[in-house]
Amino acid sequence: MIRRAWVNGTLFEQGEIAPISVMDRGLAYGDGLFETIRIESGRPVLLPLHLARLKASATVLGITCDTVTLEDAFIDFIAECGDAAAKIILTRGDSDRGYLPDPEAPSSLIFLLYPAMNWPAELACEGVVAAVCQQPLGISPMLAGHKHLNRLEQVLLRQELAGFAGAHEALVSDVDGHVVEGVFSNVFWIQHGIVYTPCLNRAGVRGVMRQFLLQEMSRLGLQLCEGNYTVTDVLAADEVFFCNSLYGIWPARQMAGVECQPGPITRRLQQCWSEMLGT
């Protein structure tokens, strides 16, 4: 249930239907971007990284994005909301029929406020059960890395995940058999003290939590390898964890039916995340 919405400057309280024009290119073509932001005691966590990613992707896709104005409006929007999950949607705005955008049309900006996620604390503490999706993720160098609105593959993968009894997440590989991410997470694993994560230049989302962890790993002097790996590589790891901006870090306690253990590097990174949250 949505708590509050803001559409191009107009605020809608809970229970009101927040409308957007059917001419919006976000609807017509998924022509836009989004961010999902954890709000902790009224504070938007990692907001600078979210806004930097939104701005960078908007620039690449040619969508107008004034992050200064956006940030002010967003801070107003989340005022006194306590713990919550917020979403920013930026689209290329309205247009006539056809793929070619009107360069003069203003972009559309939407904020949505949801209740905080109530994942059980033991998922971060004891770990999660991870399956392996069979449906292969597509490859798109034009779109890889961006958190754009073309997410139909994730919708189908999320339904596949729902079919794995007891699984909390699932590894997703692309059509070439390279592991890309979880269904709604990025993924890291550790072997012999080295951290591994998929290189995301052909598929996947460069998550803000992933970005935060890359910075923390650098600060901690951890060795990181970004590359092309397979499910077999992940299953051979000493530690595996998933991450996203809402839940933080979930260690795997079972991968594809095989028991595993949250390890020391995962625990160290969870500590960094707790410090960032101030908890």
- Of 68 and 100, nearer to a copy of itself (C-beta) is 100
Instruction: Find the shortest distance in angstroms from Cβ 63 to a copy of itself.
Output: 10
What is the SS3 assignment for 148?
Answer: strand
51 φ, ψ (degrees, to nearest 5):
-70, -35
In the set 91, 107, 245, 266, which binds a copy of itself (CB under 8 A)? 91
- Binding to a copy of itself (CB under 8 A) within 215-274 occurs at none
Q: How far is CA 208 from CA 10, 45, 48, 52, in A?
A: 28, 10, 10, 10
* Interface with a copy of itself, residue 205, by CB under 8 A: no
* Minimum CB distance to a copy of itself, residue 58 (Å): 12
As measured in angstroms, the least distance from the Cβ of 199 to a copy of itself is: 15
Please list the active-site residues. 36, 147, 181
Residues 6+ apart with CB under 8 A from 269: 213, 216, 217, 241, 249
Edge-first strand order for the sheet with 84-91 is 10-13, 4-7, 108-115, 84-91, 32-40, 43-44
Task: List the beta bridge partners of residue 205.
Answer: 145
Stretch that binds a copy of itself, among 121-129, 148-156, 224-232, 264-272 (CB under 8 A): 148-156
Contact call for residue 97 and a copy of itself (CB under 8 A): yes
DSSP codes joined into one string, 166-217: T-SEEEEEBTTS-EEEESSSEEEEEETTEEEEE--SSSSB--HHHHHHHHHH
What is the nearest approach in angstroms of a copy of itself to the Cβ of residue 242? 15
CA R_g for the chain: 19
Check binding of 201 to a copy of itself (CB under 8 A): no
* Residue closer to a copy of itself, measured from CB, 86 or 237: 86
Strands 194-198 vs 186-191: parallel, antiparallel or unpaired: antiparallel
> For a copy of itself, which residue of 51, 54, 61, 128 counts as binding (CB under 8 A)?
61
Does position 9 interact with a copy of itself (CB under 8 A)? The reply is no
118 binds a copy of itself (CB under 8 A): no
- Phi, psi dihedrals of residue 94, rounded to the nearest 5°: -75, 155
Amino acid making up residue 235: L
Residues lying near a copy of itself in the complex (CB under 8 A): 1-2, 5, 7, 17-31, 34, 36, 61-62, 85, 87, 89, 91-92, 96-101, 110, 112, 114, 135-143, 148-159, 162, 175, 183-184, 202
